[in-house]
Amino acid sequence: MVRMSGADRRQQIVDTAIEVILRRGIAQAATRDVTKALGVGSGLLHHYFPSWAELRAEAVRRAAQSEMAEVDTMIADLPASTAIRCLADWMVEDDDMRHWRLWLNAQDEAHRDTLLAEVMVTALRNWHRMIANLLRRACEEGSAHIPDADAAAWRLIALMDGLASTMLVKDAPITPQVARDLILSQIKLEGG
Amino acid sequence: MVRMSGADRRQQIVDTAIEVILRRGIAQAATRDVTKALGVGSGLLHHYFPSWAELRAEAVRRAAQSEMAEVDTMIADLPASTAIRCLADWMVEDDDMRHWRLWLNAQDEAHRDTLLAEVMVTALRNWHRMIANLLRRACEEGSAHIPDADAAAWRLIALMDGLASTMLVKDAPITPQVARDLILSQIKLEGG
DNA sequence: CATCAAGTTGAGCATATGCTCAATTGAACA
DNA sequence: TGTTCAATTGAGCATATGCTCAACTTGATG
């Protein structure tokens, strides 16, 4: 095996863990999947991460961060009203729902895993801040009248979570198209 | 071991499976937990159920049915406006969130398990019908003006799901009290 | 070139899980 | 009383997982 510096190897392991988790789902992903994908021995993984729980949490943290950053740049230069519609589209266009799968699986696993819980709470707060700010911007730009942007943001986030969770069930009554419409109608209800 | 008729034993096994699943969570519940709780051999379980997946699906189906029935009788004789507030309270008062845990875990597991997916889709449809009817009743009784009760019901269900899922995470920013307020404000937004 | 710290290995332990199957038990019935 | 068959047993197989640890390898350093 090629020899790497500690920092690089660590990074590479996290990257691979993200891929594995996206492919197999959090509950099904195992340390062996990661070491196999990297072609390294099992001991190497534990040399850098004391436990699978820690690696997993780190992977989810990084995945969540990069996803947030992606959306942030996507909507940064758009008028708020456009950005909001973009967000609804983006939620549905996620190919094969991979990112939603990651997010929802992680949320479920977080009910049992303290490390993951911390990661999810942080990510959740970040999403809330971003969406609440977006709603406030819409008000300032005159394209919306939302009395309580914080509450509205929580409602929107919960709605998206709930819809996504249902969409992922086979033959669910909620299709991506329906979900998108429900989100847009919710935004109208909020005063958008 | 006491000898039982096939039908009774089957029933008893499902009952015990529900208890075990409520206590340990779906992902953590194992056949051994059920047989141990019953004090029977492992073979007995597989004599009545071809696989753990089938028993598990049956247990979730029955749990969901009895929970729906419970709520149904709770709100049947109330005025719609009161019933709606009752529902919001009921969601939050679930002691230790056991039933939400079951519902959310099952939904997550349903992403991978076809049998569970069928159960969840049926349960979801039932909940939607019940809530949509409740909203329509509120309109008839003059306590609400909701243009599209079906869409409103989907939004409410998704909102509850999303809020519950967040609430279950340790140190989450959404407390039961906040969740209750968000649901009630959502109902107002819908025209209730 | 010798040394040494750090990267790396992988067999293997401990544990957990679903499920099988040959054997045993007991209740109902003739 | 004896027969029959469904109910029941439980050791054990196959598989999967996280993690350990003694040993090995390699690149940098003096």
Distance A9 CA to C6 C1' (A): 13
Residue B96 — pLDDT band, cuts 50, 70, 90? confident
Distance A33 CA to C11 C1' (A): 18
Q: Which of B28, B162, B185 sits opposite A159 (nearest CB)?
A: B162
Tell whether the model's pLDDT for residue B121 goes beyond 90.
yes
pTM of the model: 0.93
Nearest CA in chain A to B167: A111
Tens-binned pLDDT, residue by residue, of chain A (192 aa): 678 888 999 999 999 999 999 999 999 999 999 999 999 999 999 999 999 999 999 999 999 999 999 999 999 999 999 999 999 999 888 778 889 999 999 999 999 999 999 999 999 999 999 999 999 999 999 999 999 999 999 999 999 999 999 999 999 999 999 999 999 999 999 988
Distance separating alpha carbons of residues B117 and A166, to the nearest angstrom: 10
Q: Would an 8 Å CB–CB cutoff place A180 in contact with chain B? A: no
Distance separating alpha carbons of residues B54 and B163, to the nearest angstrom: 29
Task: State the smallest CA–CA distance between residue A43 and chain B in angstroms.
Answer: 27
B99 touches strand D (CB under 7 A): no
A162 touches strand C (CB under 7 A): no
Question: Which one, of B116, B82, B70, lies nearest residue B187 by Cα?
Answer: B82
**Burial (0-12, 13-18, 19+ Cβ within 10 Å), B78:** middle
pLDDT of residue B93: 85
Q: Would an 8 Å CB–CB cutoff place B172 in contact with chain A? A: yes
Distance separating alpha carbons of residues A170 and A182, to the nearest angstrom: 19
Nearest CA in chain A to B125: A173
CB B31 within 8 A of CB B42: yes
What SS3 class is residue B145?
coil
Distance separating alpha carbons of residues B118 and B2, to the nearest angstrom: 34
pLDDT of residue B1: 62
